[in-house]
Structure 1
């Protein structure tokens, strides 16, 4: 490997103006998916926000879709779009998030971005305001309760079907693990009732499809999405008792499907915020060997590589907020220097500064085709595993269209500690 090949591609990364080569690569793409190498690092969030601000202001992107729950993000959306009943300060909506790990979205960096977004939207006509939406699948019971409340007010004819779905889940005490365990030993599930409810709502939407009032159409879409979350969550929790690949795929397919619906509903371009393990194309990692797909792969397959840009992050050393176990109280942890032979170590050794790498469209240097370990820190992090774990074998040039490498990182600042009464979802994947 020629070190000059690494240095030539590694452009200086000092301020948002240095993102110009990445914006050139993005061009007229419809979807830009921006990752993070951990869920608890300030610099990943800050640079992702900087890129998103430029895409909103300079390229007309009108949707920010994140790895968060639909009901939580809907409350943030009402605030940033200045919708009736929305919080005057997005911080209040973020601080109310009560599903572990709350720090993923309830942190100072997301507050700064959403306050900025609300300010931008305040100067725009309502139809041109940028939306903020959640793609994830965990909020089965919250979505069920929100859907039921909406139906009681707007479509009482569907309330009975919704109550049947809710009653099906009630014996499990709003515990996904309990439901998953029960479906393993009993032939009956709640699948039929929730799928029927979603079918009825979509049939009604098709019958009523027309110009209508934008607020009414938006609220109906939100109700349908809550129903889709219930369907997806039921599938996810049922898949948990099978292979981890199956439940992973259910979740990522749900997130990709949700983005499809959002793009159709909003008619705009989207920035997606998720972990590298969701954003980077799974086919360029060992995930493919395990039969796993992810959002980045699905986006490329559905929209084509010309309409999708995948952006990853890497960090050499620093600090992070994470839990040592699933559901544990968050901690600020030190992240040691990258493991020898990893992608991060290569960039540190050959470049030694923050850098932007844009993958060439044609011929590219050989180092982008090497399979290197690429660090992935999730909501659970155990630094003692650095010598043998915490790294995903990655062909960088196939996994991403661009990579932001940061030499030194710091933990993000959560809005609050994890609370004793918050909801902890069943143990998930390590990202």
Structure 2
């Protein structure tokens, strides 16, 4: 049986706490990415919440970014930063996936962030961000919201003759939003409007609007608030990202799905890099979006491979990007039972700790050759660790049992 010494592994296992995480790095990472191997498990989000509070209170982190729609995330950020809206409305409209807006742990996170910010000066407030695009596996949003918001921002601040088009022109080219969100388009490229003449013209206008935003940056910095300019840049990234995504939804070549999954993570990476400029940020998403090695997925037409948002951000930030991969012992109600003892999860399960943090390089050194076997999950919703890529993470966060 491939295994390491349980005593050796126990000696390098620590509590999942901010102080233990920070000791892993020579300096505080600008992006500290905490992965999860399964969506929709509130116990995992509860651990994330505790870690974020500690990072805020002890380590100076001020932003959390999660795998949710970046445009909807503005609703949550407005609430936690200034109390705009109600908690119920924010939970209904501020998250893009069903398991997010119905999550008790996410509700507790938003509630805590709002309470933390009460009577606190603006520079010291905690902030919320979604860093995913307005995308689902079944389709993509209309670019209307992002594109018109960018146009409105620029129209209020620059000379009218510099704008590449009018708001009426954008509205005419966009047409009805259900043209963009047609559910059949994910499976049938011919049902997508992404390569229509109107979509091509919108992509040119979006590119010109983003170029104008950059060209007028000195004036815009002086004339508007940093927050308004940050949002305008988000609108520009989102509009262009959606128009690229719709373009490839209309493509019928074998590269179509590879382009789509890669573009989604490109949107994520661009948003993360923008957040890194704001200050230290805790990032939470599926391991597949945060890992440094190539991500893979089996789709209806076969397997696809792409570089994740984490891989792209790590390439840009180097040591200022950190990745904590999460692994689980059991999710018994989904048929994920006690892991085999010759897997990484099995070795960590044998420690009998509810959760622990282990530096990846130390864990790899403690494992005997030829190394642990890969774990196979009977449930598609859980992605086990790949022991061949232990070194691509900075540490492993292990959760023994999911209730």
Report TM bin, short chain: 0.7 to 0.9
The answer to whether the Cα contact below 8 Å between 2:194 and 2:246 also exists between their aligned partners in 1 is no
| TM-fit CA distance, 1:243 | 4.3
| TM-fit CA distance, 1:263 | 3.0
Matched ranges for 1:24-43 at <5 A = 24-26=23-25, 27-43=27-43
Does residue 2 in structure 1 map to residue 4 in structure 2?
yes
| TM-fit CA distance, 1:33 | 0.6
CA distance in 2, matches of 1:10, 1:368: 20
CA distance in 1, matches of 2:287, 2:376: 10
CA distance in 2, matches of 1:146, 1:239: 19
| TM-fit CA distance, 1:357 | 0.9
CA distance in 2, matches of 1:309, 1:393: 18
Of 143-152 and 22-31, the range deviating more from structure 2: 143-152
Does residue 395 in structure 1 map to residue 388 in structure 2?
yes
Report how many residues are paired.
Answer: 375
The answer to whether the Cα contact below 8 Å between 2:75 and 2:94 also exists between their aligned partners in 1 is no
Q: 1:367 to 1:260 in 2, by over 3 A?
A: farther
Report the TM-score, using the length of structure 1 for normalisation: 0.74
| TM-fit CA distance, 1:233 | 2.2
Aligned to 1:222: 231
Report the TM-score, using the length of structure 2 for normalisation: 0.79
CA distance in 2, matches of 1:184, 1:142: 11
Query: Cα deviation per residue 1:340-381 (whole Å; 9 max; x = unaligned)?
Result: 6433223213556532212348993346994753678xxxxx
The answer to whether the Cα contact below 8 Å between 1:314 and 1:374 also exists between their aligned partners in 2 is no
Q: 1:404 to 1:362 in 2, by over 3 A?
A: closer
CA distance in 2, matches of 1:185, 1:153: 26
CA distance in 2, matches of 1:150, 1:340: 54
| TM-fit CA distance, 1:108 | 0.9
**Equivalent in 129, 140, 154 of residue 133 of structure 1:** 129
Aligned to 1:427: none
The answer to whether the Cα contact below 8 Å between 1:263 and 1:269 also exists between their aligned partners in 2 is yes
| TM-fit CA distance, 1:184 | 7.7
**Equivalent in 293, 311, 319 of residue 307 of structure 2:** 293
Aligned to 1:406: 399
Q: 1:177 to 1:165 in 2, by over 3 A?
A: farther
Matched ranges for 1:52-67 at <5 A = 52-67=52-67
What is the aligned-residue RMSD (CA, Å)?
Answer: 3.5
Q: 1:114 to 1:143 in 2, by over 3 A?
A: farther
Q: 1:277 to 1:153 in 2, by over 3 A?
A: closer
**Equivalent in 90, 99, 102 of residue 98 of structure 2:** 102
Instruction: List gaps (5 residues or longer) in structure 1.
Output: 321-332, 377-381, 411-431
CA distance in 1, matches of 2:12, 2:261: 33
Query: Cα deviation per residue 1:303-347 (whole Å; 9 max; x = unaligned)?
Result: 11x212101211111367xxxxxxxxxxxx454333564332232
